[in-house]
Structure 1
Amino acid sequence: MPDDTQILGRCPDCGERIPTAWRLIDYERDDGTEGVWAECPACEDVVAPE
């Protein structure tokens, strides 16, 4: 079960903190770094946490 105390980052739209439980998908970018898409619990948009 995900640990809700861990934070992925903040929503680039509204600034709300996004817990790991809201993670939707992990992916690898062309440069080899990890990317994440998550749903913002406040504005309900799918975003790349910052």
Structure 2
Amino acid sequence: MNTDESSLGRCPECGDQIPETWLLVEYEKDDGTQGIWAECPECDDVVAPEQ
């Protein structure tokens, strides 16, 4: 993996790091925190990355 890329977190399905370039949606949750959806380049699923 290219170490110059920032990570959004890990995929909850396969555990691989998800690069920022795979971000799909940013949104505000009901509790006021930020949520994100991204596509995992390894397993091709749309997931909420885990920190």
Q: Same fold (TM over 0.5)?
A: yes
State the 1:5 CA deviation.
Answer: 1.0
Amino acid at match of 1:32: G
Once the two structures are superposed, residues 1-50 of structure 1 have per-residue CA deviations (whole angstroms, 9 ceiling, x without a partner) of xxx61100000000010000000000000000000000000000000000
Pairs aligned (count): 47
Secondary structure (helix, strand or coil) at the match of 1:32 reads coil
**Structure 2 residue 46 is matched with structure 1 residue 46:** yes
Percent pairwise identity:
66
Letter in 2 for 1:19: P
Structure 1 unaligned residues grouped into runs of 5+: none
Q: Give 1:24's aligned residue.
A: 24
Q: Give the alignment's Cα RMSD to 1 decimal.
A: 0.9
Counterparts of 2:8 and 2:25 in 1: how far apart (Å)?
Answer: 12
Structure 1 residue ranges, 4+ long, deviating more than 2 angstroms after superposition: none
Code of the aligned partner of 1:18: I
| Counterpart AA for 2:43 | C
